[in-house]
Structure 1
Amino acid sequence: MPTKLNIDIQFASPTIEVALAKTASSMLMKKWVRAATDHSGLLTLRFVNAAEGKKLNFAFRKKNYATNVLTFPYDLSKNSLTADIIFCLPVIQKEAKNQNKTLKAHLAHLIVHGCLHAQAYDHESQKDAVKMEGLEVKILQNLGFPNPYLDQ
C-alpha cells in the first residue's frame, strides 16, 4: 500500500514566495521531499526571513543567529512522521553564493538534509555524520544533483 505524505509549504512573506519561485516550484520541492522519505504523515516546510530564523534558532537552540535549516520532529514511527522544517532563505542564498553552488542545488540539499533529520538521522558523531551524508549524496545524485560535500 502506498504511503500518504502530506507536504505543506509555507512562506513567511510574499517576497520570500516570489524569490523562491524563481528557483524551485512547490511541486519540485515536494518531489525532493518524497525522494528523501518513504514515510506517511505530515511535513511542513516553512521559508522565513533572517529575523524569524534568528528568533527561532535562539528560542530553540540558544544560538543568536539565523541558521539555514531547523528541523522540529514531533512524531516518528516505523511508517509515519510529523515534523516542521524551517528554512531561512537569506542564509541559504548567502551560503550558495559563498560555496559557489547554485541556489537550486543548495536548496535541494537542505530540504533532503531537513527531511533526514525529521527521520531521526543526525550528524553529531563522526559515525552518524558519515551515514547521514552518504544518504544525502545518494538521494541528491538520484535527483541529478552533485555531491554537496565536494568543492564545486
Structure 2
Amino acid sequence: MAQRACDAALAHAGLDPDAYEVALLACDDDRIAALNAQFRGKEQPTNVLSWPSERRTPGVPPGDAELGDIAISFDTCAREAAMQGKPFEAHVTHLIVHAVLHLLGHDHEVDAEAEAMEQAERRILAKLGLPDPYEDGIS
C-alpha cells in the first residue's frame, strides 16, 4: 500500500519512482504525538507528518534522490477511517499520497494551493481506483 501510494504520487509529478527515496515510519499515537510536539509544538497525535529533505517548488524536479521522511499513525488513521466510514487502506493511501506531495513542495496554507493539492490527490487516488476522499467534505 505505501509503495503503491508513493509511486503513484511520484509518477503523477512526472518523476520516475525508482529514482527517488522516501523514508516511512508507521507508528502509534504516542510516537506521533511526541514527533508532533518536537517538530510542530503540538502535543497531540495527528494522522501524518512529513519532513522534506530540502525546500522544493511544486513542478520542479527534485535535485536530491532522498525526498524526505513521513511518519503516519495507524491509531489515528484507524479512528478517522471508522469515523468517516472509509476503508482503512484507502484512508492510509490518501494520507501517504498527501505527505509525498508535501515532500515535493506542495502545501495547503493558501486556498489556491490547497485546491491544487486536493485536485492532485483526487487524480492520483482515482488512478489507484480509490474514491475521492473529499467527496463528502471530510478529509
Same fold? TM cut 0.5? yes
**Mapping of residues 41-120 of structure 1, within 5 Å:** 41-75=20-54, 76=56, 78-79=61-62, 80-120=65-105
1:81 shift after superposition: 4.3
Q: Is the 8 A contact 2:67 2:104 kept in 1?
A: no
Query: Which structure shows the higher strand fraction?
Result: 1
Q: Secondary structure at the match of 2:53?
A: strand
Aligned length: 125
Give 1:150 deviation, angstroms: 1.3
Q: In structure 1, what is the equivalent of residue 4 of structure 2?
A: 31
2: CA distance between counterparts of 1:136 and 1:49? 24
Deviation at 1:123, TM superposition (A): 0.5
| Superimposed CA distance per residue, residues 37-85 of structure 1 (whole angstroms, 9 cap, x where no aligned partner) | 1253320111011111100000000011010000000135724442000
Structure 1 residue 105, shift from structure 2 partner: 0.7
In 2, are the aligned partners of 1:69 and 1:87 still within 8 Å (CA)?
Answer: yes
The amino acid across from 1:90 in the alignment is D
- After TM superposition, the score normalised by the length of structure 1 is 0.77
Structure 1 runs not aligned, ≥5 long = 1-27
Match of 1:150 in 2: 135
TM-score relative to the length of structure 2: 0.84
Q: State the SS of the aligned residue for 1:52.
A: helix
Moved more, 54-63 or 67-76: 67-76
SS at match of 2:46: coil
| 67-76 vs 141-150, which moves further | 67-76
Is the 2:106–2:117 contact (alpha carbons within 8 Å) kept by the matching residues of 1? Answer: yes
Where structure 2 has 5 or more consecutive residues not aligned to the other structure, the ranges are none
Backbone CA RMSD of aligned residues? 1.5
1:32 shift after superposition? 1.5
- For the pair 1:135 / 2:106, whether they are aligned, the reply is no
